[in-house]
Amino acid sequence: MALCFELGAEENILRQSVREFAEKEIRPVARELDAKEEFSYELTAKMAEMGLFGIFVSPEYGGSGLGYVPYIIAVEEIARVDGSQAATVAAGNSLGIGPIYYFGNEAQKKKWLPKLCAGEMLAGFGLTEPLAGSDAGGSRTKAELDGNEWVLNGSKIFITNAANDLSGVTVVQAVTGKKSDGRKEYSCFLVPADANGLTAKPMHGKMMWRASNTAELYFDDVRLPTAALLGNRGDGFRQMLSTLDGGRLSIGAMGLGGAQGAFDLALNYAQERKQFGQALIEFQATQHKLANMAMEIEAARNLLYKACWLKDEHKPYGKLAAMGKLYCSEVMGRVVNEAVQIHGGYGLMQDYDVERFFRDQKLLTIGEGTSEIQRMVIARHLTS
C-alpha cells in the first residue's frame, strides 16, 4: 500500500500565497479590529478576490473546484493570524455555500452560488436557537404551508455572517410538521436577507472572534415561495447533520491554524526574551513545552488532513471529522495556554497577539458541536 505524506505543488503554492496575504493584510489590523469589534468589509473583499470563497465549488457555479484539502489549508493559514477573519471564510464556505451547493436544485445553485463565491454576498447557517444549542432537535422555529407559500416564524442566535451589508441569504432549519412516528419533521429554507418580516441584529460583547459578524435573527411571518425549500420537505435534519460534518473540518482548521500561530509567537518570544542571563529557549522547561506543542500540532494536522482527504475521495469521513474538530480545538487550547505561560505577564496584555489567541480558542470547543457532543458522535460511529 502506497502512503503519501506530502502535499502537491498546488497546495503548497496556495498555502504560501494565503500566508503572505494574512501576514501582510490581516496581521497589521487584526488587533485594532478585535478591540473595536469591527467587521472588515475591506479584508472580506480581498479574501474574495483571492478566491477564498467557493474553493471546493465547481467552476460552473463560480467556484475554484480545488477540493476540501486546499480549502482547509486556506482556513488554517488565515486562522494562524486571526480567528475572526478565518471565521468569516469558514462559515461563509462550510455553513453558507456548502448546503446550497450540496443540496440545492439547479435553479438555487445558479441564483446564489456565483454571487457567494465571488464574495458579492455572504451566507449564514440558521440552526442554533435560544433554547436549542447542542440539542438541535429542540428547534422551535416553524414553517407552515399557506397555499403556495411557506410562512416562517421563530428566531435563531449566534449566526455568523447574517447581519452585515454583505449578508445575502441564510439557510434556516424549521419544523414543518410531524412524521408518522410522531417525531418533528425538519426542512431547510433559503431566506433572503431582505425578506419582509426578517430582522437581523448584530451581537456585540463577545469574548472571542470580535471582528467577525454574529447575529440574532427574528422571523415574523416571513413568507417564502415554495422554491425557497432546500431539497425535499423533511430532509432538513439530514442536511444539517451533513453540513455540520463539513463544518467540523473548518473548525478543526481554525484550531490547527490558531495552534500553529500561537506556537510561532511562543517560539519567537522564547528566543528573544532573556531571564537569568539567557534566552528562555535555553531552559529545559521551555524546550519541553515547545516540543510538546509542536508534537501535538503535527498530530492534529495529520488527523485533520486525512479527514479532508476522505471527503475529497467521497469516502465516509464523519467519524474523522468529529475527531479532527475535537482534537484540533483542544490542541489549540493546550498550545495557547502554554504560549501564554511562556510569555509570562506580557501574555496577559492586549498588546501581545497571544492574548487574542487565548480568547479565540474557547469558541472552538463550543461551536459546531461542543467537545462533549463530538465525543458522543465519535462513540456512535464506534458502535454502529
238-383 in CATH: which number?
Answer: 1.20.140.10
CA atoms of 156 and 88, how far apart (whole Å): 18
Amino acid at 338: E
Looking at the chain, the whole-number percentage of residues with pLDDT higher than 90 is 93
Specify the CATH number of the domain 124-233.
2.40.110.10
CA neighbours within 13 Å on the CB side: how many for 35?
Answer: 10
pLDDT digits (tens, 9 = 90+) for 330-372: 999 999 999 999 999 999 999 999 999 999 999 999 988 999 9
- Tens of pLDDT along 201-253? 999 999 999 999 999 999 999 999 999 999 999 999 999 999 999 999 999 99
What residues are annotated to the active site?
368
What would the pLDDT profile of 184-205 be if each residue is shown by its tens digit?
A: 999 999 999 999 999 999 999 9
State the average pLDDT over residues 98-118: 98
- pLDDT confidence band for 7 (50 / 70 / 90): confident
Ramachandran sector of residue 203 (left: φ over 0; alpha: ψ -120 to 50; beta: rest): beta
Top-confidence residue, 102 or 5: 102
Q: Could you tell me the pTM of the whole model? A: 0.95
**Coil/strand/helix, residue 308:** helix
Indicate the pLDDT class of residue 1, thresholds 50, 70 and 90.
Answer: very low
| pLDDT digit string, tens, across residues 260-304 | 999 999 999 999 999 999 999 999 999 999 999 999 999 999 999
Q: What rounded mean pLDDT belongs to the chain? A: 95
* Average pLDDT of the residues in 77-98: 98
How far is residue 305's CA from residue 69's CA, in Å, rounded to a whole number? 7
Reported confidence tier of residue 182, pLDDT bands at 50, 70, 90: confident
137 to each of 133, 173, 184, 208, how far by Cα in Å? 9, 10, 8, 27
pLDDT of residue 3: 57
359 CB-contact burial (10 Å; exposed 0-12 / middle 13-18 / buried 19+)? middle
The pair phi, psi for residue 304, each rounded to 5°, is -65, -45
> What is the third-level CATH fold of 9-121?
Butyryl-Coa Dehydrogenase, subunit A; domain 1 (1.10.540)
Domain range annotation of the chain: 9-121, 124-233, 238-383
pLDDT of 144 reads 97
- Counting every residue written for the chain, the total comes to 384
Q: Report whether pLDDT(5) > 90.
A: no
Query: Hey, is 82 helix, strand or coil?
Result: coil
**Rounded Cα gap, residues 4 and 284, in angstroms:** 34
pLDDT bracket for residue 2 (50, 70, 90): low
Q: How far apart are CA 350 and CA 356, in angstroms?
A: 7
Higher pLDDT, 61 or 138: 61
Give residue-wise pLDDT tens across range 134-164.
777 788 999 999 999 999 999 999 999 999 9
* pLDDT tens per residue across span 22-42: 999 999 999 999 999 999 999
